[in-house]
Structure 1
Amino acid sequence: MESHAVRVIEILDVTHDVKCFRLEKPDGYTFVPGQATEITLSIPGWEEERRPFTFTALNEAPYLEFTIKGYPEHDGVTKRLHELRPGDTLNIHDVWGAITYQGPGYFIAGGAGITPFIAILRQLYRDQKISDNYLFFSNKTAADIIYESELTRMLGKNVCYTLTKEKKEGFDSRKIDANYLREQIKDFSKHFYVCGPDQMVKDISAALEELGATTDAVVFEK
């Protein structure tokens, strides 16, 4: 199995608990927006702890980028990742398919579930093909929204943010469920891209089927 030791070039704060990691890009290493790889730490005792992360920069970038939420309450891989510094080394592995863009439609994300969509939306924006796509993005609070300003710049009126644990002017406060989708979506024949907590994905997939979306038009991370 392919493995590359790569150095951390830069670490940027995205939100209070999300960081952007930019890593060296091995020669010839390519991917399609929405694809992922597994990362392992170069720390004794952690070398076999593989975790999947989606690329968030475009393939043409001179570096690899991952946008990762940390969970400091758990002594796990993401906590250790958030303790890294530029110059530290990680191992990346084979590229594999996660969520792939199949045509214009609706992106539905919960929290860190936005990450498989970031490179896809950036690519569509760069190619001037984003106009017929929509994003519904659920978070607990406004402070949790990953890349809010960039998503708003790219999508304009086609992005809706909803907060489940905070009421704030300018934001929706409803749960994304069948009633929400029925009100917000006019065309259930389009593609749907869903990523978030397991129960959210399960519930939304069932709601979309109930509302008339065909099973093969609903794309979710497996």
Structure 2
Amino acid sequence: MIRTHRRRRLAIKPIAASPLGRWIQPGTWIALYLALIALPLLVLLLGDRPGGGGFGWDFALALGYAGLAMMAVQFALTARFKRATAPFGIDIIYYFHRYLAVIAFMLLLLHAALLVAIRPEAVGSIDPREAPAYMTLGWLAMLAFVSIMVTSLLRKQLRIDYDVWRRMHTVLAVLGIAFALLHILGSASYLLTPFKRGLWITLALSAIALVVHVRVIRPWWLQRHPWRVTEIRQERGRSWTVAVEPQHAAAFHYEPGQFSWLSLRASPLAMREHPFSFSSSPTRPGRLEFTIKALGDFTATIGDLQPGMAAWVDGPYGAFGVDRHPDATGHVFIAGGVGIAPIVSMLRALADRGDTRPLWLFYGNRRWERIVFREELDVMAGHLDLHVVHVLGEPPDGWTGERGFITREVLARHLPAGRHGFHYFICGPKPMIQLAERSLRSLDVPATRMHSEIFDLA
């Protein structure tokens, strides 16, 4: 399953056993994030402050500082710190990152617009031949942030290759922060003391240091812990299962339903890694399996891989899985296409553990012959209390099962009345997830029991 850096439902994933522990760790990380945003702004109010600009001028400057602080902290959100992301799931963090980036950009845009409207003579010309260097750097920072927004939000429409986009995103982000720092140091509107200047320099350098950590130091460590492709197995529906085994002694622990970034055909330093869910189960140690559909970009040639090729695995990540909800009296899985991959990982684990709880799988596909893991699901239904409901968009002649989409009516026909203690796991294309979530809500399923993931590149 190709993973996105988003999750449909923003919900904290408690990992502690006690009710109090459920909220202490997430609350601590949220408080730390807010502190990182607020502290640089509060420090600006200490000691001497410039005067004579008026409320509008000061407000515009405050928007600029706030937007820059948020942009700097964005680097921490995507640094893949497992301890910080564990309470939420790293996909929620990336989803959070995406929205906060838009908000930060709007603050910076409003900052520039207000300054131009209130004091155009102070802003001066945008012509670098006439403008002070620090103002030109400010406009260059804004241009970098505009480029980030356009290429990120419209990547597919612009047909930008995913690997190319990731490199562009990193370079533009570093340039934007560097130019913005030089801009505020040159203007020095509120940075009147060495302490204040030092704090903002530290904030910007810390952001750049995180890029070095994610793009250089961690890939260097991964390169020293290689894996090897041991099997390429063709599945139904233009999908392939890639199996890898470690070439080092370090243990790899993961939960069913999680994912990793996988590097193939190039070292981790090349920035050509891709996020895929595990279809294997941790109950079968020794190797990892990823089931991947040939959709485009990197995945189009996944079937051309050969056993013996080098691979690198960065993970595990994610909070999508049954192990996070041991209190569930049963589970309902709703999958579309290759979105079955993390769900099969969970089903394999439950089967190996001898789980006896009732399970339902609603699996949507266009055609019968494209159903990934079709035969294995039939086998698992004999070892688990598993009820498999196939829903086909183009059913064959004589099909007597469900057809169309996984709607409220389909769910209501098959789910038992005593399902209030169940947890629901949804994975597939975005429209399918939206429909499934609406259908479950109409069946009075609480949002805290719905766990959704989208398998699509950012």
**Match for residue 12 of structure 1?**
233
**Cα distance in 1 for residues equivalent to 2:237 and 2:403:** 21
Give the number of the structure whose residues are more often helix, by fraction.
Answer: 2
Q: 1:127 to 1:97 in 2, by over 3 A?
A: same
CA contact (8 A) 2:368 2:396 kept: no
Kindly state the Cα deviation for residue 142 of structure 1 after the two structures are TM-superposed: 1.0
**Cα distance in 2 for residues equivalent to 1:120 and 1:153:** 15
Give the number of the structure whose residues are more often strand, by fraction.
Answer: 1
**Match for residue 435 of structure 2?**
203
Alignment of 1:61 with 2:256, yes or no, is no
Which of 338, 343, 349 is residue 123 of structure 1 equivalent to? Answer: 349
* Local SS of the residue matching 2:403: coil
Letter in 2 for 1:193: F
Which of 14, 23, 29 is residue 244 of structure 2 equivalent to? Answer: 23
Alignment of 1:39 with 2:277, yes or no, is no
Which of 1 and 2 has greater Rg? Answer: 2
* Local SS of the residue matching 2:253: coil
**Cα distance in 2 for residues equivalent to 1:16 and 1:161:** 15
Superposed CA RMSD in Å reads 2.2
The aligned runs of 1:1-222 (5 Å cut-off) are 1=218, 3=222, 4-25=225-246, 26=248, 27-43=250-266, 47-59=270-282, 60-71=284-295, 74=296, 76-101=297-322, 102=325, 103=328, 104-156=330-382, 158-168=387-397, 169=399, 171-187=401-417, 188-189=419-420, 190-221=422-453
* Local SS of the residue matching 2:255: coil
* Local SS of the residue matching 2:391: strand
Instruction: Between 19-28 and 209-218, report the one with greater CA deviation.
Output: 19-28
Higher relative CO (Cα under 8 Å, sequence separation at least 6) belongs to 1
Kindly state the Cα deviation for residue 185 of structure 1 after the two structures are TM-superposed: 1.9
Instruction: Between 84-93 and 132-141, report the one with greater CA deviation.
Output: 84-93
Structure 1: runs of 5+ lacking an equivalent: none
Kindly state the Cα deviation for residue 58 of structure 1 after the two structures are TM-superposed: 1.9
Q: 1:152 to 1:127 in 2, by over 3 A?
A: same
**Cα distance in 2 for residues equivalent to 1:7 and 1:41:** 10
**Cα distance in 1 for residues equivalent to 2:452 and 2:235:** 24
CA contact (8 A) 2:334 2:426 kept: yes
Letter in 1 for 2:286: P
Query: Scaled by the length of structure 1, what TM-score is found?
Result: 0.89
Kindly state the Cα deviation for residue 172 of structure 1 after the two structures are TM-superposed: 2.6
Instruction: Between 187-196 and 140-149, report the one with greater CA deviation.
Output: 187-196
Identity %: 26
**Cα distance in 2 for residues equivalent to 1:120 and 1:158:** 15
- Could you give the per-residue CA deviations for residues 10-69 of structure 1, whole angstroms, max 9, x where no partner exists? 11111151111111135311111111101123348x931332111122223211111111
CA contact (8 A) 1:69 1:112 kept: yes
Q: 1:5 to 1:81 in 2, by over 3 A?
A: farther
Letter in 1 for 2:307: P
**Cα distance in 1 for residues equivalent to 2:245 and 2:232:** 12
CA contact (8 A) 1:39 1:50 kept: yes
Query: Scaled by the length of structure 2, what TM-score is found?
Result: 0.45
Instruction: Between 15-24 and 104-113, report the one with greater CA deviation.
Output: 15-24
**Cα distance in 1 for residues equivalent to 2:355 and 2:235:** 26
- Could you give the per-residue CA deviations for residues 54-89 of structure 1, whole angstroms, max 9, x where no partner exists? 112222321111111112xx3x11123222111112
Instruction: Between 101-110 and 161-170, report the one with greater CA deviation.
Output: 161-170
Instruction: Between 210-219 and 46-55, report the one with greater CA deviation.
Output: 46-55
- Could you give the per-residue CA deviations for residues 139-186 of structure 1, whole angstroms, max 9, x where no partner exists? 011111111111111125611111112334354323111221222223
Kindly state the Cα deviation for residue 211 of structure 1 after the two structures are TM-superposed: 1.4
Letter in 1 for 2:255: V
Q: 1:134 to 1:120 in 2, by over 3 A?
A: same
**Cα distance in 1 for residues equivalent to 2:379 and 2:370:** 18
Kindly state the Cα deviation for residue 98 of structure 1 after the two structures are TM-superposed: 4.1
Equivalences, count: 219
* Local SS of the residue matching 2:243: strand
Structure 2: runs of 5+ lacking an equivalent: 1-217
Letter in 2 for 1:70: A
Letter in 1 for 2:320: I
